[in-house]
Amino acid sequence: MAAATPFIEVADAIVECGGKDLTLCYQCATCTGSCPWGYVEPLNMRRLIHLAQLGLEGYEGEDLWRCTTCGTCTDRCPRGVAIIDLVRAIRGMMGETGLIPQTLRSAVGSVRANGNPWSGERKERNAWAEKLEVPRFDASQHEYLLFGCCMPSYDPRSRKVVQAATKVLRAAGVRFGVLGSDESCCGEAVRKIGSEEVFGSLVASNGGLFTAHGVKKVIALSPHCYHTFKNEYPEQGVKVEVIHISELLAELIGSGKLTPSKPLDATVTYHDPCYLGRHNGIFDPPRQVLQAIPGITFKEMIRIRESSLCCGGGGGRMWMETKRGDRFSDLRIPEALAVGATVLATSCFYCISMLEDSRLTSGCEDKIEIRDLTELVAESLG
Ligand code: SF4
Ligand code: SF4
């Protein structure tokens, strides 16, 4: 009996760290069967949860860091187990003992030191806004804070999206500003990696900034920022109204404030990002936007909406190597080509990055383009 005590303590600690549903799981394996890893190299979430119920005795670290937090399994679990919270809790415990992949340790370290996970200098954050002459947010003049996310500050491909967003918002007469290098990462990824303490410090920092500047409404370009501000900041007392750019574009087009007029002559399909679609139910606005652009023929792929295929970049996977043949995004390109698409549109920086990589490494450069829907709207404004 004495030998079992430490394992019981580990299971209790997982529950205390946020994995409150640990004992709810009755081992049906629906999660394992639902997981997109099943298309490439299966991830056995049922077994991981069973090991956690037993205090992680026999755990070898095989599956924990592969979960992309896509949410497919949580949607389908018959017991309603909050599986992603369990993953976060176990990762947090592993992180405390130092058992965390080196690349994730570096990403969390960079967030702590620089306010972003890309080892970019803080002063570079939102430098794009100066070049585009986007003003500093002023509550007396601006309705919205445009929260650009870390990606456009440090990734050239993502910067094109924020440039397009700026053009489109200006064309529609939206009053918006940015908060320059004072702003920090929203913290979505570090929380999923298991670093609750760093997440808490980001909430406090960004929350303090919002309060100091009188920010009431935020436009999020990333579904990950959107999800975090909407669903996770309020848990820690920070409440702002947040709208994703796809929702705002649909509203602006619907009300006649924005009119895409230049025909684009393309067959376009849409990839639902997990954190916009499955996690937050935003399926229709991006499709309404695409269908409002003249010249576009819109086609759906086989896996859409709640059943959309994860790009593979969530849950910290953006900072981990996934070998060729195991990348979900490699499967998505042929699915888009199969419906005759010349453009695979989406609305997430991570998805764009993963899909662009797959497009290039699978030799499909000349067959299909990866575009954010904001870029397509900007192009259609002429
Ligand atoms: S689907 Fe739910 S109940 Fe079934 S094994 Fe997975 S977590 Fe447990
Ligand atoms: S959240 Fe997604 S990647 Fe993680 S175990 Fe569930 S289905 Fe698999």
pLDDT of 23-34, one tens digit each? 999 999 999 999
Query: Does the beta carbon of 269 lie inside 6 Å of ligand 2?
Result: no
Q: Which residues of 148-168 are buried (b: 16+ CB within 10 A; e: fewer)?
A: bbbbbbbbeebbbbbbbbbbb
Please state, in angstroms and as integers, the Cα–Cα distance from residue 178 to each residue in 22, 207, 245, 248, 297, following that order. 41, 15, 15, 17, 35
Burial of residue 43 (CB within 10 Å: 0-12, 13-18, 19+) is buried
Query: Does the beta carbon of 31 lie inside 6 Å of ligand 1?
Result: yes
Q: Is the pLDDT of residue 45 over 60?
A: yes
Q: What span, in angstroms and rounded, lies between the C-alpha atoms of 314 and 72?
A: 13
Q: How high is the pLDDT of residue 20?
A: 87
Judge contact between 261 and 294, C-beta under 8 A. yes
In CATH terms, is domain 105-250 a member of 3.30.420?
no
Query: Does the beta carbon of 23 lie inside 6 Å of ligand 1?
Result: no
Domain 256-380 class in CATH: alpha beta
Residue 57 — very low, low, confident or very high, per pLDDT cuts 50/70/90? Answer: confident
- CA angle (223 as vertex; 336, 163 as ends), nearest 5: 85
Q: Which ligand is nearest to the CA of 27?
A: 1
Residue nearest to atom 2 of ligand 2 (CA): 70
pLDDT of 270-302, one tens digit each? 999 999 999 999 999 999 999 999 999 999 999
pTM: 0.96
Query: Does the beta carbon of 308 lie inside 6 Å of ligand 2?
Result: no
Ligand 1 centroid to Cα of residue 325, in Å, is 27
Which residue out of 46, 47, 68, 326 has the highest number of ligand 2 atoms within 8 Å of its CB and is therefore the one to mutate? Answer: 68
Q: Which ligand is nearest to the CA of 52?
A: 1
Query: Does the beta carbon of 86 lie inside 6 Å of ligand 1?
Result: no
Give the DSSP letter of residue 310: P
Give 363's Cβ-side CA count (13 Å radius). 0
Query: Does the beta carbon of 33 lie inside 6 Å of ligand 1?
Result: no
Query: Does the beta carbon of 79 lie inside 6 Å of ligand 1?
Result: yes
Query: Does the beta carbon of 202 lie inside 6 Å of ligand 1?
Result: no
Non-local (6+) Cβ contacts of 367 within 8 A are 337, 342
Query: Does the beta carbon of 49 lie inside 6 Å of ligand 2?
Result: no
Ligand 1 centroid to Cα of residue 77, in Å, is 5
Q: Are strands 296-298 and 266-270 parallel, antiparallel or unpaired?
A: parallel
Where along the chain do its domains lie?
2-96, 105-250, 256-380
Q: What span, in angstroms and rounded, lies between the C-alpha atoms of 287 and 246?
A: 9
Q: Using H for helix, E for strand and C for coil, what is the string for 311-367?
A: CCCCCCHHHCCCCCCCCHHHHHHHHHHHCCCCEEEECCHHHHHHHHHHHHHCCCCCC
Q: Which ligand is nearest to the CA of 322?
A: 2
Q: Which of 93, 96, 69, 65 is nearest to 82 (CA)?
A: 69
Please state, in angstroms and as integers, the Cα–Cα distance from residue 134 to each residue in 66, 138, 180, 216, 320, following that order. 38, 11, 10, 18, 34
Judge contact between 175 and 191, C-beta under 8 A. no
Q: How high is the pLDDT of residue 277?
A: 98
Q: Is the pLDDT of residue 323 over 50?
A: yes
Mean pLDDT of 114-132: 95
pLDDT of 216-241, one tens digit each? 999 999 999 999 999 999 999 999 99
DSSP 255-305: TTS----S---EEEEEPPPTTTTTTT---HHHHHHHHTSTTEEE---SS-G
Q: What span, in angstroms and rounded, lies between the C-alpha atoms of 271 and 293?
A: 17
Percentage of the chain modeled with pLDDT above 70: 97
Query: Which stretches does DSSP call E strand in 85-139?
Result: none
Residue with tokens 């205390």: 16
Non-local (6+) Cβ contacts of 332 within 8 A are 271, 301, 309, 311, 344, 355, 358
